[in-house]
Structure 1
Amino acid sequence: MLPGTISVISFLVLSLALAMTSARDTKLEAVWKGNTEFAKKLYHALSKEKGNIFFSPLSVHAVLSMLHQGSKGKTQQTLGDVLELPGLRESAKGYERVMKSLNSVKDVTLLIANKIYIQNRYAFKDNFASTISKNFLSEVQSLDFAKSKEAAKTINTWVEGKTNNRIKNLVKPQDLNEQTRLVLVNAIYFQGIWEYPFSPSMTKSHKFYINGKDSIDVQMMRLIQTLYYKEDENLDSKVLELPYRNNNLSMIIILPNKRNGIAELEEKLYTVDMSTITQHMHRPEVSVHLPKFKIEATIDLNKPLTDIGLGEIFSSSADLSGMIQSPQPLQVSKVIQKAFIEVNERGTEAAAATHNVMVSHSRPLETADFVADHSFVVLLQAKKENLKTILFQGRIVKPQ
């Protein structure tokens, strides 16, 4: 008989916004720092593929951190090292802080939720069940995975409800079978608006270069505003920060100076501390040209996770014996994420209100142009005091 399998399925719907509480918390910091380092590794692996990229490292980090709680021996060490986590107790406490912070933000619509589905003939081990429920705030439900069509429908219905119907039919019946023992899910849904909305009347058709010479026509938004900005000589790029209504979250855009400079930029990003990207910025009046775009993609993360050192969790040598009471060994069968992002003038398509900002008409001493008419890297960054972490990251090669 084949060993039991676990499907680790990470869902993301992003319509732009987030914020964090301000009190210092060392356990939260440990998880944030680990996530930032993990984001860099995973992005580097994903960047080997062509085309647009968008994913939530936090969503992947959360489900794998739940897996970490049920692992033992070498598997536990490997997960801890790759995820950059402290000990089991510290990381569990850290995620408790993360879950509570993310679900109590202001001026945005934000939901982060965990759920574990277990084969109905099995039971969790007490310690694992307690940790997942208390620290990861995870719901638990029994399913008969042998009835794969019904099980997939149950999981998909939960995900649709948690993501305002943005993510549909992610789990396919063929993803589940009688050997499936657990499905771990993290769902994230965001809505929010810019601190300084773009005016729709300023949006015009504009060329966007998909390589050094070929271009497509896109809807280019325009904004003139005093913003944090810098020229980064080390990255040979311009860096711009666009704040949301809750200023603890912002979109960071890293634009190579060369039209075909995206690959070179990505290699450099792998060698830098991503939490320092927004250091030494100043506030000139910036003329921003940014394309509207919408990206939806399903990513099979088995290979990228293997590439960054987590191949063991997919193998028969995995030790996940701390999770459920089972005579059979467990291994991960799939890690899947479906991500959605839409960037428009107001920040999100679902924003219920606009935010009028009074801007001084006195002209600052400095001005800068930021014309995102070729491939760029985008980050969504949360900050708390001097600590920053990357919640979302992507590469926009062809706005859609």
Structure 2
Amino acid sequence: MPGCLKRLKEKKTVQMMFKKAKFNMGYIDEVHTQVLELPYEQEELRMLVLLPDEDTDLAVVEEALTYENFRAWTNPEKMTKSKVQVFFPRIKLETSYDLESFLRRLGMTDAFEEAKADFSGMSTKKNVPVSKVTHKCFVEVNEEGTEAAETTAVVRNSRCCHMEPRFCADRPFLFFIVHHETNCVVFCGRFSSP
């Protein structure tokens, strides 16, 4: 399903997915943002999406985002489970980071210096320093990979006057993949441009 992702005054065509089902959904008045919970197939993980209103910049949400606010905003008790029309872009994000400078600032310096590196528990050679530490992140959301964003055909009765809630991620948003049992964030990201 083609759609447009609106970014400031720029529009780009993107592939959108659609699903109409029961989801937990809420609204954050203080930052004018919708919250949607998309459970994964085994329900061990869930994706939480923070979608600002069309007239609210994503930076407003990011500035107000703290751990305490995140916990309050995504509290299942503050969300309502109801049938929602969800429009969500197919996304594929990938990035990598060189962690040496971060690790050095945290005090892990000996591991990078030949004279001080001691990995004798893992190597028969002495003084073998770490030459590089890289972290690579990858997330892809498509019909096959996220049950909650599965493509579904919908037939509506035109005589029905009840409007279902609508969650249309056609503008920048934040997303968090959370372990359900521990409520620990295992991945987070910002989608602002396809």
TM category, shorter = 0.7 to 0.9
Match of 1:207 in 2: 4
Is the 2:91–2:141 Cα contact (8 Å) retained in structure 1? yes
Is the 2:172–2:193 Cα contact (8 Å) retained in structure 1? yes
**Which secondary structure does the structure 1 equivalent of 2:132 belong to?**
strand
1:391 equivalent in alignment to 2:186 = yes
Cα distance change, pair 272–366 in 1 and its aligned pair in 2 (3 A): farther
1:378 equivalent in alignment to 2:175 = yes
Distance 2:100 2:171 in 1: 30
1:246 equivalent in alignment to 2:42 = yes
Cα distance, 1:260 vs. partner? 6.0
Identity %: 27
Match of 2:105 in 1: 311
TM-score (ref. length: structure 1):
0.38
Task: In structure 2, give the amino acid aligned to 1:292.
Answer: R
Cα distance change, pair 312–295 in 1 and its aligned pair in 2 (3 A): closer
Match of 2:97 in 1: 299
Distance 1:335 1:256 in 2: 35
Cα distance change, pair 328–273 in 1 and its aligned pair in 2 (3 A): farther
Cα distance change, pair 273–323 in 1 and its aligned pair in 2 (3 A): farther
Task: In structure 1, give the amino acid aligned to 2:2.
Answer: S
User: Where in structure 2 are there 5+ consecutive unaligned residues?
Assistant: none
Distance 1:240 1:283 in 2: 10
Cα distance, 1:301 vs. partner? 3.3
Cα distance change, pair 366–388 in 1 and its aligned pair in 2 (3 A): farther
Task: In structure 2, give the amino acid aligned to 1:368.
Answer: P
**Which secondary structure does the structure 2 equivalent of 1:374 belong to?**
coil
For 1:255, which of 28, 48, 51 is the aligned residue? 51
Q: What do residues 228-282 of structure 1 show as CA deviations (whole Å, max 9, x unaligned)?
A: 0000123431110111221121111111124662222122223535444421111
Match of 1:324 in 2: 120
Is the 1:275–1:389 Cα contact (8 Å) retained in structure 2? no
Distance 1:327 1:334 in 2: 18
**Which secondary structure does the structure 1 equivalent of 2:105 belong to?**
helix
Cα distance change, pair 257–302 in 1 and its aligned pair in 2 (3 A): farther
Distance 2:112 2:89 in 1: 44
**Which secondary structure does the structure 1 equivalent of 2:81 belong to?**
coil
User: Where in structure 1 are there 5+ consecutive unaligned residues?
Assistant: 1-203
Match of 1:167 in 2: none
Match of 1:225 in 2: 21
Is the 1:228–1:282 Cα contact (8 Å) retained in structure 2? yes
Is the 2:111–2:118 Cα contact (8 Å) retained in structure 1? no
Larger strand share, 1 or 2: 2
Distance 2:53 2:192 in 1: 15
Q: What do residues 123-165 of structure 1 show as CA deviations (whole Å, max 9, x unaligned)?
A: xxxxxxxxxxxxxxxxxxxxxxxxxxxxxxxxxxxxxxxxxxx
For 1:290, which of 71, 88, 91 is the aligned residue? 88
Task: In structure 2, give the amino acid aligned to 1:393.
Answer: C
Is the 1:251–1:379 Cα contact (8 Å) retained in structure 2? yes
Larger helix share, 1 or 2: 1
Match of 1:367 in 2: 164
Is the 1:379–1:390 Cα contact (8 Å) retained in structure 2? yes
**Which secondary structure does the structure 2 equivalent of 1:266 belong to?**
helix
Match of 2:142 in 1: 344
**Pairs within 5 Å for 1:1-400:** 204-209=1-6, 211-258=7-54, 261-270=57-66, 272=68, 274-279=70-75, 280-303=78-101, 305=102, 311-313=105-107, 315=109, 323-324=119-120, 328=127, 333-347=131-145, 367-384=164-181, 387-399=182-194
Cα distance, 1:321 vs. partner? 6.8
Aligned length: 176
